[in-house]
Amino acid sequence: MTTIRIYVVDTSYLLELYRVDGCSENDAHSSVLRKFRESIETGQFFVPVAVLFELANHIADIPDSQRRRNLAAKLRADIGSSISEQTPWVVTHATDAQSLEDLLAALNESAARFADEFSTQKLGLTDTTVILEAERLRKKFVSDSLRNYQIHIWTRHCELKAREPDTEASQFV
């Protein structure tokens, strides 16, 4: 049986991957970069839109204007490539929305789950979108006799990591 790994990537991993000033540590960057490189052939990466907005907000806070512009340009290139080629990741919005109404309904669901469930666990609205995306992918990719799907959340946030559908063997939190 073939195992297919699907990773929902949180802001904390992208902060390390991009080495965002004030939000990244050398050892953590090395670990996250290694995980991406090791998993690129055997996994697929999903990044919710909210995570990209949060990453961009952190990039915007970088004091060095040249560094800020360089990282913003890298993010722009990665988003463009993801939209056109689904590489390096698949950009998602935690729903299979086909219309603006569907997207707004998904936003409403995210806000409701955040208010009713996740805010009490110190998980934010972006964290909520990561959890909902992992749940959506778990429902979409059901293991069968030929394929075993594993859905993981890549994050440095312990409370968020605890919500992943399938426990990852070699975690880095």
Partnered with residue 3 across adjacent β-strands are 148
Token readout for 170 is: 């070699």
Lowest mean pLDDT among 6-10, 96-100, 162-166: 96-100
- Express each pLDDT in 96-117 by its tens digit: 667 788 888 888 989 999 999 9
94, pLDDT greater than 60: no
Among 54, 46, 57, 16, which residue's Cα sits nearest to residue 33?
A: 16
Partnered with residue 4 across adjacent β-strands are 149
What pLDDT score was predicted for residue 97? 66
Let me know: does 153 contact 138? Beta carbons within 8 Å.
no
What pLDDT score was predicted for residue 52? 97
* Domains observed in the chain: 2-161 (3.40.50.1010)
Among 17, 2, 18, 118, which residue's Cα sits nearest to residue 62?
A: 18
15, pLDDT greater than 90: yes
Mean pLDDT of 116-140: 94
- What is the b/e burial string over 101-131, where b = at least 16 CB atoms within 10 angstroms of the residue's CB? eeeeebbeebeebbeeebeeeebbbbbbbbb
Give the three-class secondary structure for 10.
coil
- Tell me which residue has tokens 């559908």: 165
Among 171, 164, 163, 124, which residue's Cα sits nearest to residue 6?
A: 164
For residue 88, say if its preceding peptide bond is cis, omega within 30 degrees of 0: yes
User: What distance lies between CA 89 and its chain's CA centroid?
Assistant: 9
pTM of the model: 0.92
What pLDDT score was predicted for residue 160? 96
What pLDDT score was predicted for residue 33? 96
Cα–Cα distance measured from residue 87 to residue 81, given in angstroms and rounded to the nearest whole number: 6
